[in-house]
Structure 1
Amino acid sequence: MALAQAPKLTKRPLNHTDYDRWQSVRLEQLSDNGRWISYQIDPQEGDGLLLVTGVGSPATKYSVPRGYAARFSADSRFLVARIKAPIADTRKAKLKKKKADEMPKDSLVVLNLGTGATQKFPNVKSFALGKDGGSWVAFLQERKDDKAPARPVATRDTTAKTPANATASRKPAPKKPKGDDLVLLNMADGSRQTTRYVSNMTMSENGQAVVYTRESIIDSLQSGDALVPGVFAFRTDTKQIRVIDTTRLHKVYKGLSVDKTGGQVAWMASADSAGADQKSFRLYYQNLAGAAANAPASKKGRTKTPTVAGASTGRVLIADTTTGALPKGWSVNEFAPVRFSEDGQRLYFATSPVPPLIRKDTLTPDDEKVRMDVWTWTDTRLQPMQQKRLKEEKERGYTTVYNPATGKVVLLASREVPTVSVNYKKDSRYLLGMSDMPYQVISSWDPGHTDLYLIDSQSGQKTKIANDVMASEMRISPEGKYAYWFDERDTLWRAWSITEGKRIDLTRGLPAKLFDEEHDTPNLPGSYGAAGWTTNDAYFWVYDRYDIWQIDPTGREKPRNLTNGWGRANKVRLRRIELDSDDRPAERPGIQPTADLYLTGFWESDKHTGILRIRPTKEMTSLGVASAKAPEVLVSSPHRYFGINKAKNAPTMTFYRGNFQEPINLFVTDTTFATQQQLSRVNAQQDSIRWGSVELVKWTGTNGIALEGLLYKPEDFDPNKKYPMLTYFYERSAETLPDYKFPAPSRSTINIPYCVSNGYLVFVPDIVYTTGNPGQNAYDCIVPGVLSLINRGFVDRNRLGIQGQSWGGYQTAYIITQTNLFKAAMAGAIVANMTSAYGGIRWGTGLVRQFQYEKTQSRIGGTLWEKPMHYIENSPLFYADRVQTPLMLMHNDADGSVPWYQGIEMFTALRRLQKPVWMVVYNGEDHNLVQRHNAKDLSIRMYQFFDHYLKDAPMPVWMKEGRSAVEKDRGEMKY
């Protein structure tokens, strides 16, 4: 008897209600011992889930509903995370128009990984853990029961004779104390201490010191009062609190900082009240080593704050308005962070000129005050740019350093050299300064000019080491021996030898191109980047398109191809994986050349990716240098591999993998990659939904250039059927072949999974550009690609749509002026008229748009007066009378990138010509939609538009009737 077959799963197409529940796996964390992994699974809209899993078999698993921002303790015994309030509760509060302080708050959870026991704390604002040690967690918990201290009500002496109209004297009620509860919890033994009215706190990386400030408003400042404002330190080893600063005059504290070991503290304090229009801050420092501690804490669980007495000695005033090392009229900048270097030998902060005190005009009514701008040709920055940077300029600080050992304060930055790159991880004497001040005027049309300076942190002396360079990746090497940068003018990596005081052309004569070989804009090409410097700054590792080169900065050794030319021979782009550091690039440590070298690989031929490794030979290890050999492929497949991470003290590694058909999931392995275990399994609902496939397609453009693109096809694709097809593009997208595409509401472009699930083909062609003809270039690449697919027999020539946003929107608008091939077009945030857009402002940045047309994406390659016909010939507006394709525009009235009036120019031209055109404008929205409900609305309307013209669906009401201002005022919606 034959076995009955399981019924075939009936699949349905995606619809707009599916988006919210589509999940992402992200923010994985590994415990230092490699035995635990946490990660979040978050839907696009709704409550997420924090999962914690043990590494091994059987694996212990925990889950924390709505958990996020998780961190493991340094001893790998505990996990601490925040818990979001339920989305439903937050939504209810919004509907009730609750104030911000009445909205549902986060909670905190502490999970014991060994036992599974949890502790939860409500209304938590922030928390801190020791990065490198300690079992304590510190968190600020909002108080809900605070009331201003009561005063006795004044009473009348009925025996005294007083006037009949006399009233009793009443003092105003005292203000409610400020701040939150600081809870100090020892996760190992459960003991807890609470300090009230704390405004800020921080914990040392070794977990041994918690430093906090208190700014309470109280009636008395008696010594020993538990509410006394000031700066305090709690030692986790002794459970004692020490007074750092309780000066009566100090009313506001900021910039709290503690060094890595918890032995040094710095803070800013002001005698001005928090509500003062202008506050003057002083910066203080104290070395806590050897000072007497204060009263011990209770040994019983939760305790009250112990009484503190007698501030320890040794407080140093680092800087204020009287500091001789600063220019006259300068003081501490309150807006910049205060931070110790990794070794505690330097304290970095910022100073700035004290702004003049300007009294507010209280005698002139607001409607009589003059409001105007003055634009002058001598302005270094245009007025709109000044307005966008107003807050930044008002708060601008100049990097300054204090040496605790010598007590010396040195101003590093200046008005002439405002930018200084600081490596907090390595305390090198010399820092790199950068200045674009001489070039601010020309940056409107020719950005990128920079002068480079070497700054001596001991004296503040500045030495110019490069004048007017077009440079990128400007940094100091990890050991501080070299300043280095990529010079785009001659495509060389250069360095400045600090010990020898001379410039070195690191890569001159190297038999490889180190600049972007596919660069196609009129500006200078950038580099492929650098892997970094090896230990002791012995060698510099730099990328060409495929391989890694080792450069000896002394010139004694010839350059070596560390990957032995394997990348170029196989057309695989190899890049080093940074396993042991999450620091920013300027702070990454030197590369250990004798360690295993892990690489990502991108196979250009079929767009696969993978992970590779080079293991050093014993001979090279003994010599302390890297091996030059072909890499070993550990994993490679038609997926995107990314996000490789490694435990600090164990071989445990994680990575993400996915492709168009396989949702992105998290995997765990070890340094051998012998086996890979999938940890997460998200979006199981995809199995019940019609999905699709993607393939790489190739054709030749009208210009004779060989081109590539992607073709997305519906599930159960039948090459004998005819399908409607949407063409979407930007510049080059073929390399995204292995990428997963999330079903999501449209911020501005079509959603590929939705389209193929609903029966469309989607074609995504690459575009190759030349200078001066961007519109024609787009036509020469896109239209032949579409025709090549039509010739394959499965594309319905009469049901072709085209869509693009921003630069893609411009190209869409241009193409429909040149061909009637497409039956419907949707273009978002277009430039319709390059002549009027050229001198306009990008309101999001305040920059004038000239540079974009001359040097970057628009690729005209000259000014409007040098190449007027290029601007006209590439502008869709001047050919509006040729358009016969129905067009849907989106251009939002708060667009900060492309002026809104560009969409209006195109719309009004086509309207006058009686061409079918619609424009949707989302009020207050930017270049791409930000608010999710607006994105959902656009998704509905855009697919209604295409379905009408390409699938014979009925014309929706909004296309027939529009939406009048009266209907909008009444809140009426039409679909």
Structure 2
Amino acid sequence: MYRVKFILAFWMLLMSLSLFAQEKRSLTHQDYDGWESVSSEKLSKNGDWVGYETYPQEGDGRVDFVSPSTGNNRFQVNRAKNFVFSNESNYAVGLIKPEIDKIRNLKLKDTKKEELPKDSVFILNLGEGKIEKLANIKSYKTPKNEGNWLAVHFEKDNAKVDIKKDSAEKVEKPKKTAGTRLLVRSFDGSKSWEFNRVKDFGFSDSGGYLFYVNAHEDTLKNEGIYVLNLKTGVSNKVDEGLNDYNKLTFSENEKWLTYMATEDSLKAKKPYYDLFLYNISKNSTQKIAAKNSTGVLDGGMISKNANLRFSKDASRLFFGTAPDYVAYAYEDDTTILKEERVSLDIWGWQDADIQPMQMKQKDREQKKSLLAAYNINNGTIIQLGDRDLENIVLDEKAKHKIALGIDDKPYKRNYSWDIQIGRDVYLVNIENGERELIQRGMKGYPALSPEGKYVYWYSNSDSTWMAYDVKSKEKKNLLAGLDVNFYDEIHDSPSMPSSYGNAGWMKGDDAFLVYDKYDIWKVDPTGKNKPQNITKGQGRAAQVTFRRESVEEDEEFIDPKSTLILSAFHELSKKNGFFIGDINGKNDPKEMVFTDHRYYGLKKAKGSNNLTVRRSTYQDNPEIYATDMHFSNLKQLSSTNAHQADIKWGSVELVDYLTNDGTPMQGLLYKPEDFDDQKKYPMMVYFYERNSDGLHNYRAPAPSASTINIPYFVSNDYVVFVPDIKYDLGLPGPSAYNSIMPGVHAVLDKGFVDRENMAIQGQSWGGYQVAYLITQTNMFKAAGAGAPVVNMTSAYGGIRWGTGMSRMFQYEQTQSRIGGTLWDKPSHYIENSPLFFADRVQTPVLIMHNDADGAVPWYQGIEMFMSLKRLNSPAWLLVYNDEDHNLVHRKNRKDLSVRLSQFFDHYLKGAPAPLWMTEGLPAIEKGRTLKYELSE
């Protein structure tokens, strides 16, 4: 009897679980808007609080503030964004955005922009949980490093004045001004100041002072700068009577304030700016640089477009100069009508940059500045950059007496086909402007070590790290004698391989930490000590990649006394986590946490050892966790998308297979949640280079910018396979076939895929591979190709309009992997171009190629469509107007998502075709109907 009852109970339990599973539903396109993500996490300086934003893809979100020590002490501010903690960690402040639905409804009523609701500011007392709100806010600021101060800038008051016609009282019309009210206060409100007509404002980093720029009533010619001493509450006038005070900057020691301004009218075609320096303690201002100042660029002027920057010791002020504007007779000829003016581009063979690149860079060129330095101690100006050497690079903290000069002009003409051009590198003396050539044609990107003892770079042509000793003027190969590869070992394009990067320099420039594929090496730049593998070769032995995690804010160098936190990633299993390393290399890395998750975004509180980290799997959104330096406990702080529990989701696993040449590869196989290996599932195959390292990436349901949304298709009972691809030079198409097809067959061998209902989809490079595959096999019932290159012979000579670059480099050196010019390897271009084999295509194709594509020429999609149309092969071309390579506008992404699912559901599931597929969308109906309706 007991056995019968047990069996009955067991079956009832199974039935209830089955019913529960049946209650789950598949994802729909309507789910996208409400799907939440977490972002902008911050720790208070003392580590007692963590704040983060949670926002749906479309709609109002919130900011949560959580105490990691308890996880229960929590405050929430709805519609909040852009928050910071006060420097004393006792307050939080941020913006509150207006309700999105309210704004939308007002826009539907054609409400004027200035009458729409504005942002508010919240001020949250973290100790008491009390919140204060200020309405109609333009912006707010707090000091960067110290000081519990807040400045709030209000919007213009747009309240309408009600003037009665029969009123005898005269109402004065508000005077126009470019400035609005500024409130400066302590966070607790015990001290506060208000200023009117403020245009600009900002704190010193240490919070001792605040500048504000006044725009006086009725005229902009009477602006003024003031500095408020936040200890005394006294404001001192810095300057008054000039125009366009800008780039106001405090020195780190709070001794100086610098700015630019002009005496010219803002309507002047060529306003000249002057540079000023204000001594805060002496309350005195002096003009230190102008157009004709000694030392300023010959024939040049002060550049308004350059930032102002003090050296760390405040002995120098760096600013920019620019060549004086040239007057052109034709441009200034007032006797020529607008319609009579010639407009043309002249492409010259001798030009360093081709015309499209020049047009893309025109604004930057017009605003280009050449670095100069003002010596505050002796009042001299040194012009560091000039027309011959324009690019001068200071060290990060501007604390050294040297800088780097980098000149690639001699090599720029080749950039259209050689993106790894060289550059001439100089050492520049900031005190006198003298230059010392380090190397001509350097194939690398140089930088200064933290103490300025070395210039270092990865030399692509030598596949090693190099250093130049500033004192001895000796150039060194830092890795000489090491039988280890420090270049990308799986590099598979016809270009010089890149490095694995570096972890930075030790204190005092005593050592340099550099990565191979798996391990970390400590290198003595003097060469006295042999390079040391501080991870003891454990990475390569276990196929685990170790990398140093930098968690200290504004870190200049690696402190040998600090904890060496290492991220760890297993190449095959994709396990991820953190280890503790030994900077001296005496001990093996010690595992702290190493699990089947993805970990990223490690952050540390500035004043404590409290950390936050993000963790995810395919099933789990990357939530925020709190922990310590030893990862002794991971406490989840954020929690999003509770509704996911009611949705059929799925799982992901690795598939190991061999390419046609026997190379081991991996792919990702996504299965529906209620997967049954006895059933036959339709399968989508998506690909783009290599993706298997993303095994534990969470993929949020979202409208498509160009590719299938994997969670949507998996939730709707598709199997999705994402194979990795290995490339052979000169054979991009065959390489794709030789990697993708064996992977597909490996999945088919598992027995649960309906081989009669499979499809492929890809975008850009993936779109090219889709187009190629359907000329080689009829195995797939449908295909989706986004922005595909189908004719390499015509695409080779095209332009990437997003950058203005010629497309030659892509075929000769990078992704297309041909490895030569069209005239050197014409057969390679033809044999890898799907267009020349279009008559083989029997697979229905959905193409998307947009008319403002800045990466792949739009005509490539047209060439594909027209060839298939002529061959009477089913094809549709989606062209989103004024859209780029990947869709930008959410409305268009939603539309593409619907059409992708309808297209593949029709061919793989036998669903009725929508009217846009059966009837098309005639131009006369454009904008009047979407034709989502299914045909009968």
Q: Deviations over 1:799-849 (max 9, x none)?
A: 010000000000000010011011100000011100000011000000000
1:86 aligned onto 2:99:
yes
Q: Deviations over 1:278-297 (max 9, x none)?
A: 321111111212x3xxxxxx
Q: 2:294 corresponds to which residue?
A: 324
Q: State the 1:969 CA deviation.
A: 4.9
Q: 2:214 corresponds to which residue?
A: 214
Q: Pick the aligned partner of 1:927 from 865, 885, 892.
A: 885
Q: Structure 2: any 5+ residue segments left out of the alignment? A: 164-171
- 1: CA distance, partners of 2:779 / 2:194: 72
Q: State the 1:350 CA deviation.
A: 1.4
> TM (normalized to structure 2)?
0.94
Q: Pick the aligned partner of 2:411 from 424, 433, 439.
A: 439
Q: Which amino acid aligns with 2:630?
A: T
- 2: CA distance, partners of 1:918 / 1:111: 55
Name whichever of 678-687 and 315-324 sits farther off: 315-324
Q: 2:557 corresponds to which residue?
A: 590
Q: Deviations over 1:697-732 (max 9, x none)?
A: 011112222211111111121111111001000000
Q: State the 1:362 CA deviation.
A: 4.8
Name whichever of 963-972 and 107-116 sits farther off: 963-972
- 1: CA distance, partners of 2:512 / 2:71: 45
Q: Pick the aligned partner of 1:111 from 116, 124, 133.
A: 124
1:52 aligned onto 2:10:
no
Q: 2:310 corresponds to which residue?
A: 340
Q: State the 1:80 CA deviation.
A: 1.1
Contact conserved, 1:80 with 1:109, CA < 8 A, in 2?
yes
Q: Which amino acid aligns with 2:574?
A: K
Q: State the 1:99 CA deviation.
A: 4.5
Contact conserved, 1:208 with 1:261, CA < 8 A, in 2?
no
- 2: CA distance, partners of 1:482 / 1:106: 49
Q: Pick the aligned partner of 1:274 from 257, 266, 269.
A: 266
Q: Which amino acid aligns with 1:36?
A: W
- 1: CA distance, partners of 2:84 / 2:254: 20
- 2: CA distance, partners of 1:595 / 1:219: 56
* Secondary structure class of the residue paired with 2:471: coil
Q: Which amino acid aligns with 1:413?
A: G
Q: Pick the aligned partner of 2:622 from 642, 657, 664.
A: 664
Q: 2:246 corresponds to which residue?
A: 254
- 1: CA distance, partners of 2:400 / 2:903: 61
Contact conserved, 2:684 with 2:720, CA < 8 A, in 1?
yes
Q: Pick the aligned partner of 1:458 from 431, 434, 437.
A: 431
> TM (normalized to structure 1)?
0.91
Q: Structure 1: any 5+ residue segments left out of the alignment? A: 151-171, 222-227, 292-311, 617-625
Q: State the 1:424 CA deviation.
A: 4.1
Q: Pick the aligned partner of 2:744 from 750, 766, 786.
A: 786
Q: 1:243 corresponds to which residue?
A: 237
* Secondary structure class of the residue paired with 1:122: strand
Q: Name segments (4+ residues, structure 1) moved above 6 Å.
A: 1-4, 172-175
Q: Deviations over 1:221-264 (max 9, x none)?
A: 9xxxxxx6211111111111011111x3x122111111224321
Q: Deviations over 1:721-765 (max 9, x none)?
A: 111001000000111111111110000000110011001111101
Q: State the 1:277 CA deviation.
A: 2.8
Contact conserved, 2:916 with 2:930, CA < 8 A, in 1?
no
- 2: CA distance, partners of 1:363 / 1:174: 42
Q: Which amino acid aligns with 2:559?
A: Q
Contact conserved, 1:910 with 1:917, CA < 8 A, in 2?
yes
* Secondary structure class of the residue paired with 1:471: coil
- 2: CA distance, partners of 1:792 / 1:271: 78
Q: State the 1:217 CA deviation.
A: 4.5
Q: 1:619 corresponds to which residue?
A: none
Q: 1:180 corresponds to which residue?
A: 180
Q: 2:714 corresponds to which residue?
A: 756
- 2: CA distance, partners of 1:145 / 1:830: 51
* Secondary structure class of the residue paired with 2:87: coil
Q: Deviations over 1:351-391 (max 9, x none)?
A: 11121245655544433321111111111111111111111
Q: State the 1:88 CA deviation.
A: 1.2
Q: Which amino acid aligns with 1:185?
A: R
Q: 2:166 corresponds to which residue?
A: none
- 2: CA distance, partners of 1:175 / 1:902: 57
- 1: CA distance, partners of 2:75 / 2:785: 47
Contact conserved, 2:532 with 2:585, CA < 8 A, in 1?
no
Q: 1:21 corresponds to which residue?
A: 34
Q: Pick the aligned partner of 1:834 from 783, 792, 815.
A: 792
* Secondary structure class of the residue paired with 2:29: coil
- 2: CA distance, partners of 1:34 / 1:492: 40
Q: Which amino acid aligns with 2:278?
A: Q
- 2: CA distance, partners of 1:58 / 1:777: 51
- 1: CA distance, partners of 2:931 / 2:340: 41
- 2: CA distance, partners of 1:871 / 1:106: 55
Q: 1:205 corresponds to which residue?
A: 205
Q: State the 1:964 CA deviation.
A: 1.0
Q: Which amino acid aligns with 1:479?
A: E
Contact conserved, 1:652 with 1:671, CA < 8 A, in 2?
yes
Q: 1:308 corresponds to which residue?
A: none
Q: 1:350 corresponds to which residue?
A: 320
- 2: CA distance, partners of 1:451 / 1:399: 18
Q: 1:371 corresponds to which residue?
A: 343
Q: Pick the aligned partner of 1:774 from 732, 754, 776.
A: 732
Alignment of 1:461-476 (within 5 A): 461-472=434-445, 474-476=446-448
**Identical aligned residues as a percent:** 44
- 2: CA distance, partners of 1:204 / 1:68: 24
* Secondary structure class of the residue paired with 2:513: strand
Q: State the 1:549 CA deviation.
A: 0.5
Q: 1:160 corresponds to which residue?
A: none
Contact conserved, 2:297 with 2:386, CA < 8 A, in 1?
no
- 2: CA distance, partners of 1:424 / 1:710: 41
Q: State the 1:615 CA deviation.
A: 5.0
- RMSD of equivalent CA atoms: 2.0
- 1: CA distance, partners of 2:341 / 2:317: 45
Q: 1:533 corresponds to which residue?
A: 505
Q: State the 1:881 CA deviation.
A: 0.5
Q: Pick the aligned partner of 1:639 from 578, 581, 597.
A: 597
Q: 2:528 corresponds to which residue?
A: 556
- 1: CA distance, partners of 2:111 / 2:375: 49
Contact conserved, 1:561 with 1:628, CA < 8 A, in 2?
no
Q: How many residues were matched structurally? A: 908
Evaluate the alpha carbon distance shift between residue 141 and residue 557 of structure 1 in structure 2; reply closer, same or farther with a 3 A threshold: same
Q: Pick the aligned partner of 1:139 from 149, 152, 168.
A: 152
Q: Which amino acid aligns with 2:89?
A: S
Evaluate the alpha carbon distance shift between residue 254 and residue 14 of structure 1 in structure 2; reply closer, same or farther with a 3 A threshold: same
Q: 2:277 corresponds to which residue?
A: 285
